[in-house]
Structure 1
Amino acid sequence: MTDRPAGSPRSDEHAEAAAEAAGVRIVELSELSGFEEVHRLFDDIWHPGLGDPPISVEMMRALSHAGNYVAGAYQGGRMVGASVAFFGAPPGQVLHSHVTGASVGRGIGFALKLHQRAWALDRGLDRITWTYDPLVRRNAHFNMVKLGARPEEYLPSFYGVMEDAINTGDESDRVLAVWRLSEPRVSAAVRGEPYRPQVPPDAVTALAERDGRPVAGRGDARVALVAVPSDIETLRRADPGAALAWRHAVRDVLGGLMREGARVTGFTGEGHYIVER
């Protein structure tokens, strides 16, 4: 673990405040010992299959040495969160956040993202992208409400079948979240003002939940609401058939709308994507 070297860009005041509120110190990592801590942390979070970690120590070493982003969050001397990102396309504009995880709650993920945002802005970048599972309601809420990011592309079975303890053999559909770092809704979210747009009165339900399973509705309206299950990770273990039904339903409805050019503009407190044509 190393602190930022003298003369390197500092985190902005919002990132520092978020880290203080979460009770962590976030630092960039450049030594093998730090990368090994990240590897152990991610192993504890995801319990990946043998030889299939979210990212290897060697890759973190290479990314860090090439000037990319590898950071850890510490409470005292214990790592409780980490994030790894690399420069994307177009060059000079995008940072792609490959993996971020925290072992406990209390705002550590938010603090890591704000540290990452400050790092990107200091290097002249204007957006950060990452992928996430559209079925995981808490992640959709975090990305869209807490951070002000928006899904901009639906990616079916992006990583193939994943056998870690969280995905349990599910197909790995993802959406590409784009965090436009200086847009007004993002600036407000960074200040602690979550992005909660009003649902238009003409919205219709394109995908609903009934008795734990997805039920398709109308998808031809100007504004459509697409539901996701309350806890897909528990559902995968308790009822794999229902979990697979949700995967295919969200792929068909949300993915279909996005492929047609509809925009995801928000996420409701009841667990619906707001999609506008």
Structure 2
Amino acid sequence: MQIDIRPVTTYAEYRACEQLQQLVWGDEFVVPLNLLTTVQRNGGLVLGAFKGDELVGFVFGFLARTADGRLKHASHMAAVHPDLRDARIGEQLKRAQREFVLAQDLELMTWTFDPLLARNAHLNLHKLGTISRTYLRNVYGPEPELVDGILPSDRFQVEWWLVHSPFARPSADQVARSPLLNPTLDTPVQITHEPVVRLAIPADFAALQQHDPAIAQAWRYHFRAWAEAAFAAGYVVVDFVRAENYYVLVSADA
């Protein structure tokens, strides 16, 4: 399948970005075309994936700063048509976005994702080579948490260091010998301070949310507690192993 990756330019293409957002997420969080066009004209990026004339994916990001004042690219949104999620379009979009950011003489791109979604973890951590050392609670609500059974929108913030990552992945042997911190949902939080550790997530969290909301809720708070404790102890997420659905973390001190 031929996919053309290029900047969004026309009114119809920006409208297609709105429509794709509605298809993927519903009406609640749609970024309107007037904001998309303004960002595109002022140092940001709206990059589309086209199958012929049809927009089937896009990414949207803008210039931003880190807490210490470093310029970066903040990637806010990435969407792919649900029928094409296994066509590696998201990966193509992110790699094209990387080239755009490098051309601006920037070395860092950040974005957030739900750390319990294994598909996204595999793309972000394993394929693209991002890292994470920031856990954000309930980024998009609800407020208060668990209104009408809706789970809090916790996120990992990932850092994509485009030239040189500050943390290397451990060897396969190191990973195989590392402890799994949370083998069960009721495992009490206790950091072992090993050089490499693993942190598990469900194989299909979206299915849990639909078919077993109580277990999905338990996973949200279980993983929040473990991830926050690991980051506070100086660990950094550097990889995700899809076959067994666990994150690989290394000690920053090591």
Equivalent position of 1:204 in the other structure = 179
The worse-fitting range, judged by mean Cα deviation, of 266-275 and 174-183 is 266-275
1:135 and 2:101 correspond: no
1:58 and 2:34 correspond: yes
Equivalent position of 1:17 in the other structure = none
Whole-angstrom CA distance in 1 between matches of 2:30 and 2:155: 15
**Where in structure 2 are the equivalents of 1:1-277 lying within 5 Å?**
23-48=2-27, 52-90=28-66, 93-103=71-81, 104=84, 105-161=86-142, 169-183=150-164, 197-198=171-172, 200=174, 202-209=177-184, 214-216=185-187, 218-222=190-194, 223-268=196-241, 269-277=243-251
C-alpha deviation, 1:267, in angstroms: 1.6
C-alpha deviation, 1:233, in angstroms: 0.8
Whole-angstrom CA distance in 2 between matches of 1:121 and 1:182: 9
Q: Secondary structure at the match of 2:239?
A: strand
When the two structures are superposed, what TM-score results if normalisation uses the length of structure 2? 0.85
Question: Residue by residue, what CA displacement relative to the aligned partner does 1:52-100 show, whole Å, maximum 9, x if unpaired?
Answer: 2342222212212222101111001111100100111146731010000
Equivalent position of 1:19 in the other structure = none
C-alpha deviation, 1:32, in angstroms: 2.7
Whole-angstrom CA distance in 2 between matches of 1:129 and 1:206: 26
Whole-angstrom CA distance in 2 between matches of 1:124 and 1:240: 45
When the two structures are superposed, what TM-score results if normalisation uses the length of structure 1? 0.78
Whole-angstrom CA distance in 1 between matches of 2:11 and 2:110: 26
Counterpart amino acid of residue 102 in structure 1: V
Equivalent position of 2:146 in the other structure = none
C-alpha deviation, 1:102, in angstroms: 0.7
Counterpart amino acid of residue 237 in structure 1: Q
Structure 1 residues 80 and 196: alpha-carbon distance in aligned structure 2, compared to 1, 3 A threshold: farther
Equivalent position of 1:8 in the other structure = none
Equivalent position of 1:3 in the other structure = none
**2:73/2:101 contact within 8 Å kept:** yes
Whole-angstrom CA distance in 2 between matches of 1:197 and 1:170: 35
C-alpha deviation, 1:244, in angstroms: 0.5
**1:154/1:175 contact within 8 Å kept:** yes
**2:59/2:79 contact within 8 Å kept:** yes
Percent identity over the alignment is 26
Structure 1 residues 224 and 25: alpha-carbon distance in aligned structure 2, compared to 1, 3 A threshold: same
Q: Which runs of 5+ in 2 are unaligned?
A: 144-148
Question: Residue by residue, what CA displacement relative to the aligned partner does 1:7-41 show, whole Å, maximum 9, x if unpaired?
Answer: xxxxxxxxxxxxxxx62111112333221110101
Q: Which runs of 5+ in 1 are unaligned?
A: 1-21, 163-167, 187-194
Structure 1 residues 126 and 99: alpha-carbon distance in aligned structure 2, compared to 1, 3 A threshold: same
Structure 1 residues 185 and 198: alpha-carbon distance in aligned structure 2, compared to 1, 3 A threshold: farther
Whole-angstrom CA distance in 2 between matches of 1:137 and 1:199: 22
